[in-house]
Amino acid sequence: MPDYIKDPVRIEEESFKQIKALTDLSGFDEQQQQVVMRLVHTCGNPDIAQQVKISSEAIAKGIKAIENRLSIYCDVEMVKQGLTKRYLNVEPKCFLNHPSVAEKAKENSETRTMTALQYWGEDIYDGIAIIGNAPTALFRLLENIKQGKAKPALVIGIPVGFVGAAESKEYLWQQYQSLGIECITIVGRTGGSALAAGAFNTLVRLQRGLRF
């Protein structure tokens, strides 16, 4: 058994020391670098920094939403459970397991994550939407925004997969300005609940003045 570090503070310090040395953070401002480093830490791959896209007002709008205790919606429970709730004054919401979602999704021949978005309602206005699993949920969210329905201030869109993931995130990045939203995403197939939650948790840290 090799010797290993047990102290959590030392582990975090050493982790981010290595991340800063191994990751190309050029092109990101100081706050954006915090998000990128957290994403690198989450997946253990410094090269992912080249795929991270953060719109110019994304962090500011995210922090404002947190400060104003606005709604936070998640596509799946894994994202919701990954959020640092001890710093939040609102309970994040996820309707994937709503009693009627499965039946309605079957009737409409669509994924449950798509159907669950109909329960978000206007409460999402100026809040934060976090999509970390389902490309179909991101597509549906963007469809709703395009149709003029209540929209979040910030979309953290980092779904994972081989069907629709890259396409949904590319559309988000190409269209966020015309849709009137800010966004954080990782282009390509890479994504997942842990990365989406990690991006949000960085905003919570920044709102409280915490940095790596």
Which residues are within 8 A (CB) of 6 and not within 5 positions of it... i.e. 6 or more apart?
Answer: none
Phi and psi torsions of 156, nearest 5°: -95, 100
CA–CA distance, 92 with 52 (Å, rounded to integer):
24
User: 98 catalytic, yes or no?
Assistant: no
CA–CA distance, 192 with 157 (Å, rounded to integer):
10
76 DSSP assignment: S
DSSP H or E run through 131: strand 128-131
Token pair recorded at residue 17: 């020391």
- List the catalytic residue out of 16, 34, 41, 75: 41
CA–CA distance, 79 with 104 (Å, rounded to integer):
22
C-beta separation of 167 from 131 below 8 A: no
Residues with a catalytic annotation lie at 41
